[in-house]
Structure 1
């Protein structure tokens, strides 16, 4: 079968990435279905009013309605072949109510007037049943209705409108570039998501949002058959809240680094990165194995974003702090008493970490969250001190606040919305400082790029992180590549060792496209921005097994 015929016949396929589970939402549909316009906003408003009125008539004191159309397109390739092309759509209504001081939720794919009304009545019945075992009524922070508003991800190229053939041609160029430069194997992938979400509530909000996300990625593998060794290098891309313009290279800002290393901002050259990845995967096979010990670490944003995610983002989710949430690696060490002390040193004085849902191009960027709260930015850690958490409307009273942070999210219309991580980012230095400037000040260190394996304990405290590329620093200069590197620390020790930050010209984002939480499990997408950052005296181990 030739490539063109495979593409035509694989349009309804649903597959997995490299054998791992990929969250497919909805049903497989023909490609043309993804290009059809969504439901007219006036019709969605009438549908929402049916639900609001039905719930009120059954005794609900608060109701919100989410009418969602969720589109996905995933492409998977390996070497010279297209493995899978997935097109999926999910459409329906989720209705959440408060009755007798208790939450109730129901969802339906029957979007007829009768189906919506019945769904609302079911949500109220569930709330009333739940109220029999509810000890305290829900305390919902007030939220002024915003009327009829719209918000859309700023983009110039809708990824779903780009022909599939063009996308496959790009992935074949990526694979060929890797193979031509020494890779033995290569997989490449494109992920596109569009959330068409309509929110209405008894507060008086009717919010229509059109959210787009994109993630290009690959893995190249170099093999030394004589030695029986192989090494891999993953893409240095970041998932983004953008359209296909992320891949056209027109707005690309290349961030130079030592030894020709580069990062990307605003757009991404996937072919160039694959070319470099193949060469670096080969170089890793002859890299010196690291000697365990204490090192100053210079961490690239593409690496540090994951450390931020695990050691700051998750432990400052208020439901984990309170013990309400423990799925996906537990609760949190950052308990309320630490925040209440007003002087809990989470990090060194130069550590300023903000939560936000507003950063243009980020995965978490929206106009309003799934409770109708306008997106905003707020401090989590200021001058090294823990100052706040991430909280939604039924949580903020616990920390003495009267307004939600606007970080509520559901991954589909049939999922109940709950607290999810917003973008959590480390602010850059106000002082002018490049990566080269930072490395000049390091006597014994390691420069780490890209994400690798990691582990963190059930309190989000003790952890270990690897990476993609490791370079030894001696007396202010990079002297060669290292291998078998991972660093160990606890969250407080690590962030209090933060010694230096690059400036805004080096600031970039990392992203998690499928961040899991909850039970039943949901996924969300979130970005973490940072500059290249130095941490002093961190414990490094050698990960090579001794036999």
Structure 2
């Protein structure tokens, strides 16, 4: 067994084992998810305890986040349920500025006494840290929103759907895969509800109810006579939607080449599992790619990961400034390139935007974890680098006076900091679909789904694989390929972008567990695009060794 095949095959199972360590909550029965929790009036009273205590202790600024995090995860394999996990985490985090320095503390003792004690600890930490603080914290001004609320516009709350219904759906998908040639299959359903209350000494009291969902699976087909196997993972996308994503209330499918189907607003896991089994079998006899230069036609479900790594991360301002160097690296997109005003990040048709308001996306919220109303802004416009991602205590470093609204903490127990918003490639303006694009390619490869990847510490030189690969010759799909990966650098790659399908092809990819920071935190983020063509990209054969 090759190492990369083992990693791909074992990935879903490994993820299932890792999930509990990320939850930071207690196991509860499924019916406890329906407990409404604290009302808004009580949350405001408790938050005011933190804010008043902080001010009386000498803080010049304070915010409090009361968080209740509900999760339900369902895992199955073949015809068996492996695990059903329901968790709840509840507590408060208090952040203050005292003597020009940040301090933070948290507690799950959400009483007046517990909150006062944690707040005093946060102020004490700030004052102690101020002894080595060289420059005082500078916060960009923010509007006082008063008492407001925001909720993910869901149609069906996962908490109201019986666990048995979810299990039946996953097992039906498993059965469909097995009936169509899979030897092994595992599937999972991740559902999250963040109930977050933010209050600050600047007069904002913000109540938010955030929902996310992620169905996924992996199928494996085996050729026992040849002693080899191939796997195909789900082409689903995690979404900022309710359970309606699973039952097709807003069914909208995009027919791609080679029988591949793109999903938007809803997802047919049984249909995808059926196709996955057939394609895994097809991979067993697919030819190995010949290395060389190809035009790449990249499906949104694949391109999202490339956007994430080559655009999202390098344009985080803290990474650009070197604050993330120890853990996550730095960025090639240094301030001098931005200040020049003419750095060609991509070709003229490349428009990359950050957007925390995008409906259905994982990163969609009304307000970030600093109480800043979220918005959309340009990162790259007509190929030129225009901006970064920055929060209240960063924007003055790039001569701006308004936070971009992309501050986030994974739980009440963690301090909020700059996190990637949804970063997306705008669709093409003229009518143009995936089938038109295939017809325009003489020698190319169509890639769908995500695979292994590697990118350097500056987010510049990279290599990406995928899930399925199809050869394109003279405008037609010729058949499936194996052992495909492409290599480039960020600037060269985005400048090779020559065509983008229109808005009717636009879809969202996402990541539930994007890691950053020390101590590490995860966040959920989406990346939208239409199918996109890149010219003359170097393709290597990953199955051949020197």
Q: What range is the shorter-chain TM-score in? A: over 0.9
Structure 1 residues 63-462: aligned runs within 5 Å: 63-326=62-325, 329-462=328-461
Asked if structure 1 preserves the Cα contact closer than 8 Å seen for 2:212 and 2:240, the reply is yes
Q: CA deviation at 1:213?
A: 0.2
Deviation at 1:546, TM superposition (A): 3.2
Q: Deviations 1:359-379 (Å, cap 9, x if unpaired)?
A: 000000000000000010000
Whole-angstrom CA distance in 1 between matches of 2:285 and 2:41: 63
1:351 CA drift (Å): 0.3
Where structure 2 has 5 or more consecutive residues not aligned to the other structure, the ranges are: 1-12
Q: How many residues are aligned here?
A: 533
1:499-546 deviation line (CA, Å, top 9, x unaligned): 000000000000001100001010000000000000000000000043
CA distance in 2 between partners of 1:466 and 1:304 (Å) = 11
Of 18-27 and 38-47, deviating more is 18-27
Aligned residue for 1:540?
539
Task: Give structure 1 regions of 4+ aligned residues with deviation exceeding 2 angstroms.
Answer: 15-22, 326-329
Q: Does 1:41 align with 2:40?
A: yes
Cα offset for 1:25?
2.4
- In 2: Cα distance, 1:17 partner to 1:461 partner: 27
How far 1:311 sits from its partner (Å)?
0.2
1:332-357 Cα offsets, whole Å, 9 max, x none, are 11110000000000000000000010
Q: Distance in 2 between matches of 1:91 and 1:71?
A: 9
Contact 1:17 1:76 in 2 (8 A): no
Q: Contact 1:199–1:206 (CA<8 Å) still a contact in 2?
A: yes
CA distance in 1, matches of 2:527, 2:112: 41
Shift of the alpha carbon at 1:82?
A: 0.6
The answer to whether the Cα contact below 8 Å between 2:197 and 2:205 also exists between their aligned partners in 1 is yes
Contact 1:141 1:396 in 2 (8 A): yes
Residue 259 of structure 1 deviates from its aligned partner by: 2.4
Secondary structure of the corresponding residue to residue 91 of structure 2: strand
CA contact 1:328–1:516 (8 Å) conserved in 2: no
1:24 paired to 2:23: yes
- What do residues 264-294 of structure 1 show as CA deviations (whole Å, max 9, x unaligned)? 0010000000000000000011111000000
2:4 alignment partner in structure 1: none
Task: Name the SS for the 2:410 alignment partner.
Answer: coil
CA contact (8 A) 1:297 1:535 kept: yes
Question: Which is worse superposed, 26-35 or 85-94?
Answer: 26-35
Cα distance in 2 between the residues matched to 1:327 and 1:76: 35
Give the distance between the partners of 1:325 and 1:61, measured in 2 at CA.
Answer: 27
What secondary structure does 1:89 align onto? strand
Q: Provide the C-alpha distance between the structure 2 equivalents of 1:193 and 1:250, rounded to a whole number of angstroms.
A: 20
**In 2, Cα distance between equivalents of 1:229 and 1:16:** 21
Give CA deviations for 1:170-210 in whole Å, capped at 9, x if unaligned.
01101000000000000000000100000000110000000
After TM superposition, give the deviation of residue 84 of structure 1 in Å.
Answer: 0.9
| Alpha-carbon shift at residue 149 of structure 1 (Å) | 0.2
Deviation at 1:124, TM superposition (A): 0.6
| TM-score, reference length from structure 2 | 0.96
The answer (yes or no) to whether the contact 1:63–1:95 under 8 Å persists in 2 is yes
In structure 2, the residue corresponding to 1:451 is in which secondary structure?
coil
8 Å Cα contact 1:148/1:205 also seen in 2: yes
Q: 1:498 is matched with which residue?
A: 497
Question: Does the aligned pair in 2 maintain the 1:38–1:196 contact within 8 Å?
Answer: no
Kindly indicate whether the alpha-carbon contact (under 8 Å) linking 2:328 and 2:516 is maintained by their aligned counterparts in 1: no
Partner of 2:3: none
**Aligned residues of 2:68 and 2:90 also touching (Cα < 8 A):** yes
Query: How far apart are 1:21 and its partner, in Å?
Result: 4.8
CA deviation after TM superposition for structure 1 residue 20, in Å: 4.4
> Does the 8 Å contact 2:328/2:517 carry over to 1?
no
The 1-side partners of 2:18 and 2:397 are apart by: 39
Please give the secondary structure, in 1, of the residue aligned with 2:463: strand
Alignment partner, residue 7 of structure 1: none
SS of match in other structure, 2:450: strand
Question: 1:329–1:456: 8 Å Cα contact kept in structure 2?
Answer: no
CA distance in 2 between partners of 1:128 and 1:269 (Å): 54
Match of 2:60 in 1: 61
What per-residue deviation string (whole Å, max 9, x for no partner) do you get for residues 407-443 of structure 1? Answer: 0000000100000000000000110000010111111
Contact 1:73 1:191 in 2 (8 A): yes
> Cα RMSD between the aligned structures?
1.0
* Residue 487 of structure 1: aligned partner: 486
- Post-superposition Cα deviations, 1:472-507, rounded to whole Å, max 9, x if no partner, equal 001111111111000000000100000000000000
Q: Secondary structure at the match of 2:132?
A: coil
Which residue number corresponds to residue 469 of structure 1?
468
Q: Structure 1 length as normaliser, TM-score? A: 0.96
| Cα distance between partner residues in 1 of 2:506 and 2:327 | 29
Q: Deviations over 1:109-130 (max 9, x none)?
A: 1111011111111111110000
